[in-house]
Amino acid sequence: MRIAVIGAGSWGTAVSWLIGSKGIDVSLWAREPEIAEGINADRHNPLYLPDVHVPVSVTAYPDIEEALRGAEGVVIVTPSHGVRGTAESMRGVLPGDTPVINLAKGVEEGTHMRMTEVLEDVLGNRARLAALSGPNHAEEVSRGIPSATVVAAHEEPVAKLWQDVFMRPAFRVYTNPDIVGVELGGASKNVIAVAAGMSDGVGYGDNTKATLMTRGLAEMSRLGRALGANPLTYMGLAGMGDLIATCTSQHSRNRALGEWVARGGTVEGYAEKTHMVAEGARSAISVHELAQSVGMELPITHQVRAVLYEGADVSSAGSLLMGRSATDELHGMGLVDEEA
């Protein structure tokens, strides 16, 4: 079997290691030629996860057409804002029935599309599309630290295929038919993680972070329910599991961005310093707009956007959240009589 992995950042490198270590032939597309050269020459990515030994079953290519040639499945591991452009590069090269799974977590700005919707818009044939999401920091997956994830697809055989491809003794893969919930959970939890980082940055405590995470999960669930997701999905790996990891981990770019901004930094400065993409920065815009399009208020997301882009003060944003009108804890979750 040959799998094309499109994107050679930290997660793409970890995924190549994960799949390639099973003896699967992996063709890895790297935008930067020096990454392809480094992997093929000495089995290490010189820019991302340089300590990870990439198996010989992985061959890197700077040309996306070469990477796709003969692939029986495609794994997209680019930042969410690059998914459409990447898909356009694949169109005309990739056969119309080749399974494609997306690992990017985000909602497209402007269109408010989930990533599989973007792929369907460009590539067509939604039946072959899938999404993977969960508490999966590349730094830990690539070291064989026990982890788990969830695959969602429109068609069960496609989900099962990717479950088999990714399953390893230290990487457990579940399936879930709720592709809407899995994708929206992955996008919206990044915004909550930025809020958690802001809380860390101003020196608030465990109570504050636990409150942000819990009420953030409620925001995520309400939005998902409004858009047709199963609220129970948010109790799983793509919801609560990913939220916990992203809000608390030292590896979390989104938590680190929030802390950076709370201490006086900017979104642009963080990107320049780390050369990494914190998806929550873009999702603060797109998820907020998506919620507005269905007439829904997401208070935490709204305040994160205000701090990142409108000059709002973190402490003032916190005060606004704490001063909101009292309500029922389960409001909007479909679990109480909301007409009363």
Nearest to 231 by CA among 332, 333, 328: 333
| Number of CB atoms found within 10 A of residue 313's CB | 13
> Residue 74 in contact with residue 100, Cβ under 8 Å?
yes
Residue burial 237-248, b: 16+ Cβ < 10 Å; e: rest: bbbbbbbebbbb
Nearest to 117 by CA among 92, 143, 162, 87: 87
Nearest to 286 by CA among 216, 195, 187: 187
| DSSP-derived 3-state class of residue 328 | coil
| DSSP-derived 3-state class of residue 156 | helix
> Residue 29 in contact with residue 61, Cβ under 8 Å?
yes
Residue 22 designated active-site: no
Q: CA 120, CA 128: separation in Å to the nearest integer?
A: 9
Q: Which residue is catalytic, options 22, 105, 189, 273?
A: 189
Q: Where are the beta strands (DSSP E) in 20-177?
A: 25-29, 58-61, 73-76, 100-102, 129-133, 147-153, 171-176
Residue 24, phi then psi, degrees to nearest 5: -75, 140
Catalytic site positions = 189
